[in-house]
A and B are shown apart, each in its own frame.
Chain A
């Protein structure tokens, strides 16, 4: 079921971009349009479509299913989070799971998806599997949208060197009429609407053969039934999970807290640094010290203009620098992460040294000069 490989000969007709890329782009456009949160790719093979989809910011759950575990394993590590994903956790959460199993079997892990894609899948199914397929996908999984693509056999005459089918593993290849009648029947049966389109335009003059790849987009006509229906019939899991990656996300309290603490301390350090270098400049002249105003203009172009109110001024007392939390909260980055001042206080409680009344971040300056 190696789609990319199959294109090696389709390219002889020169589709630009290659046909498999056009199919993936089609799915991507669909994702952009409908913004599904949970997407499953049935017959995901070497996971290249899943890899493309993991960059779509609307998707929070991605699942792949294939009958061949080896082909999935070959490149599944490309679906793992990157070091940078840990360094800068993103706003959205994302879980990617790969399952080993057949589309002829029902498994509860496939419930609740918004979009299910079956790209160049059905023609690989044995007759018995194809029979069960609509019930599994449309009846059981019942996502809002299903995309099914399959070769259009009418186009084959234009492809050199195709003897019977485009791929030795294909069990059948349908004409447009065959695909459409199967699709309409399925849609009718499970209360979906279907529209037909495709990728890979025929050469001029040959328009009637249709697209090289025919595509049906099925949209469920009834509203989401909710999870309740499923829970009534607890089922056994039949798929085997071969891969699971949970991406770090700010939705996860652990990462959010980390990010906030980092940002708070870093911001406070900057303010302290400015404060201290100002002090050094003025020396220990008490007169000048009393007039001291924290000037943040020099770096405000980056951190955003600040409204410095009276109670927001950082100050030095003895060996301690106090940087009010309100000042820190006014920095856009901190503000964006926490949303509310209360949330900020909650997240840093016990993790950052605060003044006795809890209103300011505190640093000891003695500590700094040690052993320099």
Chain B
């Protein structure tokens, strides 16, 4: 990225990413707004009611005319070791001052030295005279990207001074952990922090972060896996459960990612040390850390090291017994009870969240050393968070088959309102299969009766299905599918007795690729409670209808001839082999029908080439449906990681344009590309009745905490039952629509109403959520591109 001069060495002073990678997490230096003339003056909207908000941003203040002075430091004769270079330079603290940051060649000072070039003389301990030349190379204004990086480094220094423990990118307080013994989890409270140039000020964005740690070693986990699955499936189970997890070691403060398990080696195996000698792990840990490894039969974990500048790639061997697990596995995430127990501690409501944050600022304010460091650099913080106003745009009207209704804006949900109304378009279930095991015969009948009760009011015509009993084995299900599924079947419903993934995967794989028919899997347990069966049956009926190409409701879309695209990615963290991009594009004016495709890419390949093909077929399909090509295209691009914005802007967007050009020389639709980000540090709180509450759905923020170099805004579209609502960040990186920012914001919010698996407003525009669902299904279960016959249906819901 342009303009980043802080060397990796300096970054090392306080922050080291796992594997020593250096990334520009904040996408500094990507200036997309300058190319969009219509938002030069203003990028703010106007509609809606004004709301008073506070946030988790704190102003950074510096004295007037503050600057950071950057010096180059040269040695004659040349000195190699960084420690030595530092030691020699710091002999002259009376000249350069006590406050400095030095990486071995670049020196930052808060004050200007008397001369542009300063020569200093030091003597090494073996009596060699060294001339040190300190040359001023840059006077950095507070807003320069280098300065911003520098602030972040200094801030991390402060957190370290407060005795917080660094794990990964954030800092945590280990002295007051919350333990959840039911699941052997421990939660540490910590903080994420970043300092950036926002609209008018440089601010610290700080948030409470929770680190989930596990009170067991990798070896413990292996033992319990062994007892669960037995010898035969043990290795597979270990690979599934452990690969991709981050571990902490017993002897140093580093985190490692488990990339592989080496079953051929054990602690008695030897490795080559940096000096070339061979040593066994047992001896090494005994000698180096006085640690006795008790289990000599355990395998060895392999972690790939990604070094700076990418050219040195090595791997590290770790001993399971000496590694502690951090974070959650997918299996744990899907454990409802565990997540519920965790949420009590991690989902802090607004007031509590701000209180915890206040504690951090209090530490900073109270700590003498921290204050001294800040003073020396001429910096200070506003300890009161920034307040400003946002807007709450009005709720949408929901249309469903000739009727129109409002929803309660507090709940952002219209489940009640929609009950008993016919769907916009219902697909009849003339011919369908219901497959179940003998044990679930009663459950299957209950489902059927309930469906017969709920479907008529929705306007769904349903015949009796072919009821098929199978053995509870994957092969049995597959055999039935092979024998009984014919092209005239509308949908296949399978009742599964357990949430075992292999059966589900096999059914989905077969019905999405070899034999493209919509399918619905239902867990028997879900249907076992009489008091909820009608609600469940309603949900299933709606979901099945969408899967067959039905339409549920719509909102008013004022733009004509518009195609909306959603893209999201799924990265297979377990085997690390595949990336999947889900691509969804609207097909009709009401944005109720979608074309869906995905791109399956192996490691190393760029997803974007596949996306180009998707866009081409989407346009072809749109023109088939509408007898013309769209004149406006909106792309909502989710799944862009921190630091990848530059690549997206410079590589992916031009590819979209190329693709449009290839359609025809006279075809030039208006294109808008919006990067959607769910994981952002910003939190907003509404000041209501003297307390802090979550802002209501429809809250739009496009001032103060947005970035001056971007055309960006935040929308809070969903509601949460507990904890703090997370705003979604929208960054319009390319826009020839000529639409006012207000209209882009409104359109975006409207699209958050259109996700058919949830009769309420969701966190992202529906096409992003559809794309996510599709990519997830393919990545988790199917592993290859589904049959294109299904592409005009939401079969993956």
Contact = CB atoms under 8 A, between A and B. Distances in A.
B179 A258 contact: yes
B167 A5 contact: no
A288 interface: no
B368 to A, nearest CB: 13
Given A82-B248, A87-B213, A302-B224, A5 B324 contact: no
Nearest to B185: A262
A77 B160 contact: yes
Interface residues of A, number: 38
Given A9-B126, A55-B289, A84-B324, A262 B87 contact: no
B525 A372 contact: yes
A304 to B, nearest CB: 12
Interface in A27-86: 55-57, 77, 80-84, 86
Given A265-B181, A372-B336, A55 B291 contact: yes
Interface stretch (B22-30, B249-257, B372-380, B454-462): B249-257
A83 B126 contact: no
Contact of B227 (A6, A55, A299): A299
Nearest to B323: A84
A82 B288 CA distance: 16
Contacts of B167: 83
A346 to B, nearest CB: 17
B721 interface: no
B177 A298 contact: no
A5 B87 contact: yes
Contacts of B777: none
Chain B: interface residue count, which band?
35 or more
Nearest to A90: B250
Interface in A1-31: 2, 5-6, 8-9
A168 interface: yes
Contacts of B402: none
Contacts of A262: 179, 181, 184, 215
Interface string A259-298: 0011111100100000000000000000000000000001
Contact of B174 (A86, A163, A168, A299): A86
A9 B81 CA distance: 13
A161 B126 contact: yes
Contacts of A55: 251, 288-291
B336 A167 contact: no
A82 B253 contact: yes
Contacts of B31: none
Contacts of B217: 88
A86 B177 contact: yes
B248 A83 contact: yes
Contact of A83 (B87, B125, B165): B165
Interface string A75-118: 00100111110111000000000000000000000000000000
Contacts of A163: 127
B484 interface: no
A357 interface: no
- Name, among A55, A82, A264, A269, the residue most crowded by chain B CB atoms within 10 Å (CB to CB): A82
B240 interface: no
A41 to B, nearest CB: 17
Contacts of A162: 126
A368 interface: yes
Given A86-B177, A258-B179, A262-B184, A302 B227 contact: yes
Contact of A371 (B165, B184, B336): B336
By CB atoms of chain A within 10 A, which of B125, B126, B182, B336 has the most? B126
Given A83-B253, A84-B324, A5 B248 contact: no
Contact of A88 (B215, B227, B290, B337): B215
Nearest to A161: B126
A21 to B, nearest CB: 11
Interface in A344-372: 368, 371-372
B290 A6 contact: no
Contacts of A368: 337
Most interface-central of B167, B181, B224 (chain A CB within 10 A): B181
Nearest to A283: B439
Contacts of A298: 227
B186 interface: yes
Contacts of B186: 87
B571 interface: no
A255 B402 CA distance: 65
A301 B230 CA distance: 12
Contact of B181 (A56, A81, A261, A371): A261
Nearest to B127: A163
Given A301-B227, A371-B336, A87 B125 contact: no
Contact of A168 (B84, B125, B188, B226): B125
Nearest to B227: A299
B661 interface: no
A82 B163 contact: no
B250 A84 contact: yes
B359 interface: no
B100 interface: no
B83 interface: yes
Given A6-B125, A167-B125, A82 B250 contact: yes
Contacts of A88: 215, 217, 250, 324
A216 to B, nearest CB: 24
A332 to B, nearest CB: 13
Q: A6, A8, A163, A301: which has the most chain B beta carbons within 10 Å?
A: A8
7 contacts: A84-B250, A88-B217, A161-B127, A261-B181, A262-B184, A302-B226, A372-B525
Given A5-B84, A87-B248, A266-B182, 18 more contacts: A5-B87, A9-B125, A55-B251, A55-B290, A80-B163, A82-B250, A82-B252, A83-B174, A84-B249, A87-B186, A87-B214, A262-B215, A264-B181, A266-B181, A266-B184, A269-B182, A302-B224, A372-B336
What 3 A-B pairs have minimum CB-CB distances, sorted nearest first? A265-B181, A299-B227, A55-B290
